[in-house]
Amino acid sequence: MTPLTLADTLLELLVVPSFARTGYAVRRRLFRWEDPSRWSLAGRTVVITGPTSGLGREAARSLAAMGARLVLVGRDAGRLAATRDALARETGNDALATVVADMASVASVRAAAATILATEPRIDVLVDNAGAMFAERALTAEGAERTFATIVLGPFVLLARLAPRLSESPDARVVSVTSGGMYTQALPLDDLMFERGAYHGARAYARAKRAQVALMREWARRLRHRGVLVTAMHPGWADTPGLAASLPGFRERLGRQLRTPAQGVDTLLWLAAAPREQVAPGRLYLDRRGRPFDRLPSTRLSAADRRSLWASVAAITGEPDLPAA
């Protein structure tokens, strides 16, 4: 282990400084990161969910500034249009399309995917960023718990539908934006919809994010032979409107230790645009370095567990299985 790697590992073990602004600042200096603005995405099409606020908005701005054609996917047509117009003004890039989809609705996502496939002759990158935390348990019109539907079911359908078009790209990538909160929760495979026990919004969110990362590993395994590079990243603790609304006490305690949105999306941009040889498929990244999937043995999902989760989600959504090569 080199001195730089040792310093990074020790920082990661401390958790709080690793996830906070300190971790980003220290690693940026240690590893002398190249600024994402130097990577061109000209000629490439990026589909991004949840682009109208927070990390998604910052990522969309940066991706547009890097020259990508963007397909902005969100549930509010008015906010999508306002975001598109603002991004065009801010970046000078008007290659921006909008598609309305409620990621909590399988039917809505299927319709959105059909629109994207009909209007976009190529797709190079899919950024799975949309997410939501709810204080009370509620079901969607299709009978799924809202958090799980938004973070797991909708994105699963979107990727399943777009995967054939993605695989036609010479440098296809999928980036899932997860949360360090997933480290705190096990995922009960027999209670994916949080039907048992007292519902807790942050716990449901963390469980759904753990499921998201487990499925990312399955997607990486099943799409590798098609040339699609699938990864996940967590942004650390970034100051966003979503954090302020869902965890105001946590935000107040961290204060200036929180990362800026730009710091939070740095690794997302790196995974989407950096030279392919720098990125390993099926890994979870923080600050451009692979991180463990588990911190507690009790939360670990085996390969068999991940296959079981995949089968359950495929059955719930009605999407056909995609076997590994």
The strand pair at 228-233 and 289-291 is best described as unpaired
- Which CATH number belongs to the domain containing residue 124 in this structure? 3.40.50.720
Q: How does the average pLDDT of the chain come out, rounded?
A: 94
The highest-confidence range among 20-34, 73-87, 234-248, by mean pLDDT, is: 73-87
The answer to whether residue 178 sits within a structural domain is yes
Contact partners, residue 32, CB within 8 Å, separation at least 6: none
Answer whether residue 229 is part of any domain.
Answer: yes
- Give one DSSP letter per residue of 43-57, joined into a string: T-EEEEES-SSHHHH
Assess if residue 75 is contained within a domain: yes
- Average pLDDT in the 58-82 region? 98
- CA 62/CA 91 separation, integer angstroms: 8
Q: Is the pLDDT assigned to residue 138 strictly greater than 90?
A: yes
Reply yes or no on whether 205 is catalytic: yes
In the chain, pLDDT over 70 holds for what percent of residues? 99
Coil, strand or helix at 70: strand
Q: Per-residue pLDDT for 6 more than 90?
A: no
In a domain, 298, yes or no: yes
pLDDT tens figures, 189-246: 999 999 999 999 999 999 999 999 999 999 999 999 999 999 999 999 898 887 777 7
- Is the per-residue pLDDT at 321 higher than 90? no
More confident residue, 182 or 252: 182
pLDDT for 95 beyond 80:
yes
Domain enclosing residue 249, as ranges? 34-317
The verdict on residue 180 lying in a domain is: yes
What share of the chain in percent tops pLDDT 90? 83
Specify the residue for token string 């409620």.
102
Q: How confident is the model at residue 325, as a pLDDT?
A: 65
pLDDT tens across 263-306, in order?
A: 999 999 999 999 999 999 999 999 999 999 998 899 999 999 99
Cβ contacts of 170 within 8 Å, gap of 6 or more: 227
What is the distance of C-alpha 184 from the center of its chain?
Answer: 18
Q: Does 322 score more than 90 pLDDT?
A: no
**7 located within any domain:** no
The Cα 107–Cα 111 span in angstroms is 6
Q: How many domains does the chain have?
A: 1
Tokens of 76: 């509010």
Distance between CA atoms of 221 and 263, rounded to whole angstroms? 29
- Active-site residue identified among 24, 183, 205, 285: 205
d(CA 107, CA 93): 31
Using one digit for the tens of pLDDT, what is the confidence trace for 148-168? Answer: 999 999 999 999 999 999 999
